[in-house]
């Protein structure tokens, strides 16, 4: 448009200059006027041109700025499904060769599975032959800038169990972390780890004695942690929760059913060593917590415990990697010790009304006595990774049934005093971080009078999102 | 009320106590860059060193303790630290360094990444969805990351923004000159066929024009197998490589095996700052890398 108006002016100028030959004063005035017009137009054109040029430059600048900021591939526009949570699925199963024992347990310790035979034990642990463990589905994502959420669903035949479902704070700061929902307690070291992260195919006897066959203490509640602003790792935490799981029991009550406290300290020593030590305490109450006992004649009796249960756990982990590079070779030593005290009443009765020492007339009588126990145990294990694919490990564990004071019921029930022991060796091969095959042998003396040689061939496969593991 | 006042005073005093910006860098190269730009105004903690495989780091207690106190977290990104950094961020209780906050800086987000996979399938090994994360081995990327980093430092520490800018201009000037020098030296490397242990030199090859004709790992992140190495040897007949490149943190056995069979030299590259005695800083890293490559060519 600018070009064409210039052309028009040029033509007009040429046309106007022709009559100038006449030299008429009128014409001279006209010429002066046209000259002024021409100058004015040229000024306006120059101004317009300058504006156009600056507009064009600006456009180029914004385009190039956009070009600079857009390229990162990671910031490319993602479809709405980009907001889907990270998903991973854990496949775990095994072949197990061991003795046929009607009711597996740990002699001298109250079975955590309660009195229901079928519920005693999770899939696989007590199954002989081929079996598939529960299949874990993990979903996790940031909820918003303030919270993150994670759910772990365990699928078994005909049921889905909510293993974990919690939210976690991201934005409180000051070293504070708040977690709420169904969560694995921060007690001990192994408790927060999932079975697929275990170094052996089963959990230590200690964890099974403490928390049952799941091998971990999970509760519905809140966890508050604080990490100190020190160069050395120092963390303290507290939990309150429903306390429905063993050693507590489900009950209808306001307020908290269990509370836990823990403290961790850890650091590096040089380039190659790192360690963490911790101490934790769990206190909970049980109401009518039923367990199977044998009466003095060998008949079955049910004992229901009402009272307080408190547990101390001390844990220590040390890891070594040459040059601090664990990829090719590394060693991990891990040990935990516990002590549990329970105090309250034990009611002994006869569930099947068949007649036993507590109910000799099979009339539904029961005997209530005081109950006081103090038990302990420990394990220690070492796992050596000697190539990028191979690891081998050894675990030794021992429990002590300790003192068990059953009061008046001591006359009715057999009070075992025993030191269960188990030695386990394993070797595993990992094709990658996502697949592992493990062979394990255990010399198990956790039941009095029974030495069980247990062979396990186990696979662990994880699909999907790359999980980040704790120390 | 008194308690609140006490808390405020405590918070205030702790702010005054460390005037310098605390930087937590996941890998040595970005720790070194933060030092170049930040100088005495920042204190830099580097979470890993050159002898460690950056893919396989554990969320050690010491890392949590350092992340707790950091004002700025500099990560390589592109999932390089996927196995440990998310845990460190979450468990640190430090709101400032969470992803999406100004205190979280990702180098991979500042440049165009190479090797972006068309298909995301673990059948192809440990692939990084966003692209290859070893981006610092193209020095032009270092400059781009530096440009973004200096802006971020200025945002986090406004009173010192001008000082960071000045330090960066000084660094950028020296770096540009060095790039010119390296490119001149590296001209002889253009088109040279090489074997690599892992895909950690993609950016270096792209910059210098090295031709990667094979990888010792059969798939990214999968350890070299004898079958795969034998196949590489067979390919060596038709497509002879001039050298085998490996990083300081890769095991030396596979590359030595190939070298023994073919007579091709193994070049141990520092890969990052601290990977060799001469690679004391970013300049040293590239000086030494070029020197080692050129030496192998002779």
Question: What does each C-alpha distance from A243 to A314, A330, A385, B74, B286 come to in angstroms?
Answer: 21, 38, 38, 41, 59
The answer to whether residue B263 is domain-embedded is: yes
CA distance B297 to chain A (A): 30
Instruction: Please say if the pLDDT value at position A338 is more than 80.
Output: yes
* pLDDT over 70 (residue A187): yes
Sheet architecture: strand order including B42-46: B42-46, B21-25, B72-75, B104-106
Nearest to A171 among B65, B95, B222 (CB): B95
| DSSP-assigned states of every residue in chain B | -HHHHHHHHHHHHHHHH--SEEEEESSHHHHHHHHHHHGGGEEEEES--TTS-TTS--B-HHHHHHHHT-SEEEE--TTTTTTTHHHHHHHTT-GGGSTTSTTEEEGGGGSPPS---SS--GGG-S--TT--S-GGGSHHHHHHHHHHHHHHHHHHSGGGHHHHHHHHHHHHHHHHHHHHHHHHHHGGGTT-EEEESSGGGHHHHHHHT-EEEEESSSSTTSPP-HHHHHHHHHHHHHS--SEEEEETTS-SHHHHHHHHHH-PPEEEE--STTSSTT-SSHHHHHHHHHHHHHHHH-
Q: What CATH number does residue B230 fall under?
A: 3.40.50.1980
Residues B102 and B24 occupy one common structural domain: yes
Q: Determine the residue of chain A that is closest to B117 in CA distance.
A: A73
Cα–Cα distance for residue pair B298/B295, rounded to 1 Å: 5
Do B25 and B73 reside in the same domain of the chain? yes
Which candidate from B52, B68, B84 shows the least CB-CB separation from A468?
B84
Is the pLDDT reported for residue A466 higher than 90?
no
Which residue, A436, A356, A336, A324, is CA-closest to A389? A436
Asked, for residue B152, whether it belongs to a domain, the answer is yes
What pLDDT sits at residue A36?
A: 75
Whether A229 has a pLDDT exceeding 70, the answer reads yes
Q: Are residues B33 and B121 in the same domain?
A: yes
Tally the domains of chain B.
Answer: 2
Binary contact (A274, B78; C-beta < 8 A): no
* Weakest-pLDDT range from A31-45, A63-77, A112-126, B235-249: A63-77
Most A CBs within 10 Å: which of B53, B65, B253, as the mutation test of the A interface?
B65
Could A229 and B251 be called an inter-chain contact, meaning their C-beta atoms sit closer than 8 Å? no
Closest CA to B69 of B22, B121, B109, B122: B22
User: For residue B62, which residues of chain A lie inside 8 Å, CB to CB?
Assistant: 232-233, 266-268, 274
Per-domain residue ranges of chain A: 2-68, 90-464
* Pair (B143, B282) in one structural domain: no
Residue B1 is assigned to a structural domain of this protein: no
Is the CB of residue A447 less than 8 Å from the CB of residue A440? Answer: no
Q: Token match 């874990």: residue?
A: A136
Cβ pairs bridging A and B (under 8 Å): 147
* B7 domain-assigned: no
Which chain A residues are closer than 8 Å to B14 by Cβ? 229
C-beta atoms of B82 and A234 within 8 A: no
d(CA B185, CA B190): 10
A348 backbone φψ class: left, alpha, beta (φ>0; ψ -120 to 50): beta
- Between A31-45, A342-356, A424-438, B16-30, the lowest mean confidence (pLDDT) is in A31-45
Whether A15 has a pLDDT exceeding 70, the answer reads no
Domain stops at, among B146, B162, B180: B180
Instruction: Give the strands of the sheet with B211-215, arranged side by side.
Output: B211-215, B193-196, B243-247, B266-269
Q: Which of B83, B84, B109 sits opposite A75 (nearest CB)?
A: B109
A2 pLDDT above the threshold of 50: no
What tens-digit pLDDT sequence spans chain B (298 residues)?
Answer: 455 444 444 444 444 445 789 999 999 999 999 999 999 999 999 999 999 998 889 999 999 999 999 999 999 999 999 999 999 999 999 999 999 999 999 999 999 999 999 888 888 888 888 999 999 999 999 999 999 999 999 999 999 999 999 999 999 999 999 999 999 999 999 999 999 999 999 999 999 999 999 999 999 888 898 899 999 998 888 889 999 999 989 999 999 999 998 899 999 999 999 999 999 999 999 999 999 999 999 8
B176 shares a domain with B225: no
Q: Is there a contact between A183 and A164 (Cβ–Cβ < 8 Å)? A: yes
Q: What is the ipTM of this complex?
A: 0.87
Chain B CA closest to residue A465 = B82
* Beta carbons within 8 Å of B41's beta carbon, 6+ residues apart: B20, B21, B157, B160, B163, B164
- Rounded mean pLDDT of A92-104? 89
A211: burial class by Cβ within 10 Å (0-12, 13-18, 19+)?
Answer: buried
Q: Are B87 and A469 in contact (CB under 8 A)?
A: yes
The answer to whether the Cβ–Cβ distance between A326 and B93 falls below 8 Å is no
Say how far apart CA A263 and CA B239 lie, in whole Å: 59
In chain A, the percentage of residues whose pLDDT exceeds 90 is: 61
Q: Is there a single domain that holds both residue B27 and residue B113?
A: yes
B197 and B151 assigned to the same domain: no
CA B83 to chain centre: 16
The answer to whether the CB of A348 falls within 8 A of the CB of A358 is: yes
State mean pLDDT over A264-292. 95
pLDDT of residue A20: 41
Judging contacts by C-beta atoms under 8 Å, the chain A residues touching residue B87 are 468-470
B278, B287 Cβ separation under 8 angstroms: yes
In this structure, which long-range contacts are made by residues B239-243, counting pairs with CB atoms below 8 Å and at least 24 apart in sequence? B239/B193, B239/B213, B239/B214, B240/B193, B240/B264, B241/B193, B241/B194, B241/B195, B241/B213, B241/B214, B242/B192, B242/B193, B242/B194, B242/B296, B242/B297, B243/B192, B243/B194, B243/B195, B243/B267, B243/B293, B243/B296, B243/B297
Structure tokens at B159: 């009173």
Q: Which domain holds residue B152?
A: 15-180
Q: Are residues B75 and B116 in the same domain?
A: yes
Note whether B34 and B136 are same-domain residues: yes
A2 dihedral zone (left: phi>0; alpha: psi -120 to 50; beta)? alpha
State residue A300's pLDDT score: 87
Nearest CA in chain B to A267: B62
Residue B118, token pair as written in the block: 């068309």
Which among B157, B180, B203 is the end of a domain?
B180
Q: Which of A148, A170, A270 to mutate to test the interface with B (most CBs of B within 10 A)?
A: A170
Nearest CA in chain B to A142: B99
Q: Which one, of A226, A191, A193, A231, lies nearest residue A212 by Cα?
A: A191
Q: What is the pLDDT of residue A120?
A: 41
- Does residue B8 lie within any of the structural domains? no
Instruction: Name chain A contacts of B82, Cβ cutoff 8 Å.
Output: 466, 468
Q: Which helix (H) or strand (E) holds A2?
A: helix A2-17
**Of B123, B150, B180, which residue is a domain's last?**
B180
Find the CB nearest B131 among A73, A276, A468.
A73
How far is B188 from chain A, CA to nearest CA, in Å? 31
Residue A134 has pLDDT above 90, yes or no: no
| pLDDT > 70 in chain A, percent | 84
Q: State the Cα–Cα distance between residues A44 and A382, nearest whole angstrom.
A: 87
Alpha-carbon gap, residue A74 to B88, rounded angstroms: 22
Q: Do residues B154 and B209 both lie within one domain? A: no
What average pLDDT is seen over chain A? 85
Interchain proximity B93–A325, CB inside 8 Å: no
pLDDT at residue A145, rounded to an integer: 92
pLDDT computed for residue B159 by the predictor: 94
Q: What is the third-level CATH fold of A90-464?
A: Porin (2.40.160)
Pair B215, B176 in one domain:
no
pLDDT of residue A158: 86
**B41 and B151 share one domain:** yes
Contact residues, chain A, for B95 at CB < 8 Å: 170-173
pLDDT band of residue A40 (cuts 50, 70, 90) is confident
């Amino acid at each position: 448009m600018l070009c064409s108006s210039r052309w028009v002016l040029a033509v007009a100028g040429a046309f106007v200059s022709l009559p100038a030959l006449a030299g008429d004063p009128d014409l001279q005035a006209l010429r002066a006027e046209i000259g002024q017009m021409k100058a004015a137009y040229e000024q306006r054109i120059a101004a317009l041109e300058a504006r156009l040029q600056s507009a064009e430059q600006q456009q180029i600048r914004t385009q190039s700025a956009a070009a600079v900021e857009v390229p990162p591939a990671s910031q490319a526009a993602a479809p709405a499904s980009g907001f889907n949570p990270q998903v991973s699925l854990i496949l775990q199963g095994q072949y197990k060769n061991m003795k046929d024992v009607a009711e597996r347990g740990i002699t001298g310790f109250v079975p955590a599975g309660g009195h229901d035979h079928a519920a005693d034990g999770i899939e696989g642990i007590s199954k002989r032959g081929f079996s598939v463990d529960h299949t874990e589905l993990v979903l996790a994502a940031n909820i918003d800038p303030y919270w993150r959420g994670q759910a772990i669903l365990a699928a078994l035949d005909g049921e889905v169990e909510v293993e974990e479902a919690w939210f976690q704070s991201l934005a409180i700061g000051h070293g504070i972390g708040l977690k709420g929902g169904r969560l694995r307690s921060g007690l001990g070291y192994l408790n927060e780890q999932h079975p697929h992260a275990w170094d052996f195919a089963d959990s230590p006897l200690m964890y099974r004695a403490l928390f049952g066959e799941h091998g971990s203490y999970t509760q519905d509640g809140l966890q508050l942690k604080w990490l100190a602003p020190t160069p050395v790792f120092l963390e303290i935490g507290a939990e309150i929760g429903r306390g429905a799981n063993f050693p507590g029991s489900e009950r209808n009550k306001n307020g908290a059913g269990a509370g836990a406290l823990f403290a961790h300290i850890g650091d590096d020593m040089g380039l190659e060593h790192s360690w963490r030590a911790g101490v934790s305490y769990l206190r909970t109450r049980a109401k009518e917590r039923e367990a199977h006992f044998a009466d003095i004649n060998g008949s079955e009796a049910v004992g229901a415990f009402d009272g307080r249960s408190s547990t101390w756990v001390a844990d220590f982990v040390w890891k070594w990697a040459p040059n601090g590079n664990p990829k090719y070779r590394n060693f991990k030593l891990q040990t935990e010790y516990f002590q549990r005290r329970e105090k309250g009443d034990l009611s002994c009765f006869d569930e099947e009304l068949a007649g036993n020492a507590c109910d000799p007339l099979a009339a539904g009588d029961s005997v209530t006595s005081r109950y006081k126990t103090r038990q302990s145990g420990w394990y220690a294990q070492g796992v050596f990774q000697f190539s990028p694919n191979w690891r081998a490990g050894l675990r030794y564990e021992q429990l002590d049934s300790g003192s068990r004071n059953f009061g008046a019921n001591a006359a009715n029930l057999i009070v075992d005093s025993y030191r269960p022991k188990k030695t386990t060796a394993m070797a595993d091969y990992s094709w990658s971080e996502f697949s592992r095959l493990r062979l394990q042998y255990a010399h198990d003396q956790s039941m009095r009078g029974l030495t069980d040689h247990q062979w396990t061939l186990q696979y662990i496969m994880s699909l999907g999102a790359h999980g980040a593991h704790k120390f | 009320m008194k308690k609140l006042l006490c808390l405020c005073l405590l918070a205030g005093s702790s702010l005054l106590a460390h005037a310098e910006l605390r930087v937590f860098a996941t890998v040595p190269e970005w720790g070194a860059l933060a030092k170049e730009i930040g100088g005495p105004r920042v204190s830099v903690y580097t979470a890993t060193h050159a002898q460690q495989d950056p893919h396989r780091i554990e969320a050690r207690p010491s890392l949590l303790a350092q992340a707790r106190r950091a004002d700025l977290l500099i990560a390589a990104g592109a999932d390089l630290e996927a196995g440990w950094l998310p845990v460190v961020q979450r468990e640190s209780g430090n709101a400032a360094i969470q992803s999406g906050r100004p205190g979280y800086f990702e180098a991979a987000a500042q440049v165009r990444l190479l090797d972006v996979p068309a298909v995301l399938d673990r059948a192809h090994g440990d692939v990084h969805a966003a692209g290859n994360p070893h981006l610092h081995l193209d020095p032009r990327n270092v400059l781009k990351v530096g440009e973004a980093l200096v802006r971020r430092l200025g945002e986090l520490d406004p009173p010192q923004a001008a000082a960071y800018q000045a330090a960066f201009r000084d660094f950028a000037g020296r770096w540009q000159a060095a790039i010119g020098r390296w490119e001149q030296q590296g001209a002889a490397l253009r088109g040279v066929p090489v074997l690599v242990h892992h895909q950690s030199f993609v950016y270096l090859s792209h910059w210098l024009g090295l031709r990667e004709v094979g990888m010792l790992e059969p798939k990214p992140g999968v350890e070299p197998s004898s079958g795969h190495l034998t196949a590489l040897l067979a390919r060596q007949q038709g497509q002879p490589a001039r050298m085998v490149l490996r990083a300081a943190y890769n095991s030396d056995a596979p590359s030595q095996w190939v070298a023994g069979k073919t007579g091709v030299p193994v070049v141990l590259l520092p890969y990052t700052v601290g990977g060799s005695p001469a690679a004391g800083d970013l300049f040293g890293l590239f000086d030494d890398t070029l020197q080692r490559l050129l030496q192998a060519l002779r």
